[in-house]
Amino acid sequence: MTRFTEVADRVFVLRYPVLDVNVTLVLGDERALLVDTLATTRQARELAAAVAALTDRPLAVLNTHHHFDHCFGNAVFADAPVYAHPETIAFLSTADPVALWREWAPTHPGLDDLNTTPVRPPDRHVVHEQTLDLGGRTVLLRHPGRGHTAGDVVAHVPDVGLLVAGDLVEESGPPQFEDAYPLEWPEAVAELLALEPRVVVPGHGAVCDAAFVRGQHEELAALSWLIREAHADGAPADEVVRRCTFEFETAAVAVARGYAELDDAIL
């Protein structure tokens, strides 16, 4: 049984072993905010039990972005409003759990009920910033611009200097670029650093701090400039990949996405 750990006053993180995903629970006097809902119905029921062990207050849910490992558990929290960026809502409105199950379940047994998991798209929009009053505690939901996806939203809990960053920050692996905007991602992370967080919950891996995020910002900024300069010089993408500090597969996706952005092939 996975459990929540308190990482700041009345802020709890559950680090789920399948794909090493983090879920965060922020308690107020009247309501609680659950940030992300895991990947499948079974996982989300386990999560709901862990939440119930800490609070019986009404819940609001935030989806940090549209990737299934963060939000396919939404339907289990049927009474809760679910907040997300409109781009996330659009992606989830056309998501195909069976296709994802075919891709992921063979290598991840913990995802074997992905094909029967109903997708519940979020129903509350966060376009730029939204304030949530949890009773005696305010949480800011913020879209810092495009980065890991087109619709990343973070949760900032100012009274404890805590930021839930979603996959804009990853601790247990390199940043993932499949749906990313590598040229804009550094600016989004700079916006997060401007909030001067003391505690940062990444989308995957161990809870970290601003110094870790600064390191990731430097890596992403270096990548962004490498792509811009190489594109301006007319360098072929595979040559740029070899000059990246990220491992080959990560770099190949990042450079392809960056070149597509510069070629206006993605909007």
Q: Which is nearer to Zn ion, 151 or 258 (by Cβ)? A: 151
Burial class (CB in 10 A: 0-12, 13-18, 19+), 23: buried
Residue 16's beta-bridge partner residues?
A: 21
Binding window for Zn ion (CB under 5 A); candidates: 15-23, 73-81, 130-138, 162-170 = 162-170
- Interface size with Zn ion, residues (CB under 5 A): 2
CA-based torsion, 38, 74, 55, 64: positive or negative: positive
Q: Which is nearer to Zn ion, 119 or 230 (by Cβ)? A: 119
CB of 217 to Zn ion, least distance (A): 18
Please report, as residue ranges, which positions from 87 to 116 form the binding site for Zn ion (by CB under 5 A): none
Q: Which is nearer to Zn ion, 167 or 171 (by Cβ)? A: 167
Residue 38 tokens read as 């895991």
Please report, as residue ranges, which positions from 57 to 86 form the binding site for Zn ion (by CB under 5 A): 67
CB of 60 to Zn ion, least distance (A): 21
Q: Which is nearer to Zn ion, 166 or 197 (by Cβ)? A: 166
- Is 152 a binder of Zn ion (CB under 5 A)? no
- Is 167 a binder of Zn ion (CB under 5 A)? yes
265 HSE (CA, 13 A, CB side): 7
Binding window for Zn ion (CB under 5 A); candidates: 23-31, 81-89, 109-117, 164-172 = 164-172
Q: Which is nearer to Zn ion, 28 or 145 (by Cβ)? A: 145
**For strand 124-125 and strand 82-84, is the pairing parallel, antiparallel, or unpaired?**
parallel
DSSP state letter for 118: P
Single-letter amino acid, residue 74: N
CB of 260 to Zn ion, least distance (A): 18
**Residues with Cβ within 8 Å of residue 201, at least 6 apart in sequence:** 7, 13, 22, 24, 35, 162, 163, 164, 165, 207
- Is 204 a binder of Zn ion (CB under 5 A)? no
Q: Which is nearer to Zn ion, 42 or 67 (by Cβ)? A: 67
Q: Map residues 16-55 to x or -, x wherever contact with Zn ion holds by CB under 5 A.
A: ----------------------------------------
**Residues with Cβ within 8 Å of residue 117, at least 6 apart in sequence:** 39, 40, 41, 72, 73, 75, 97
Q: Which is nearer to Zn ion, 8 or 150 (by Cβ)? A: 150
CB of 148 to Zn ion, least distance (A): 6
CA distances from 122 to 7, 25, 92, 201, 241 (A): 27, 18, 8, 22, 36
Residues making contact with Zn ion (CB under 5 A): 67, 167
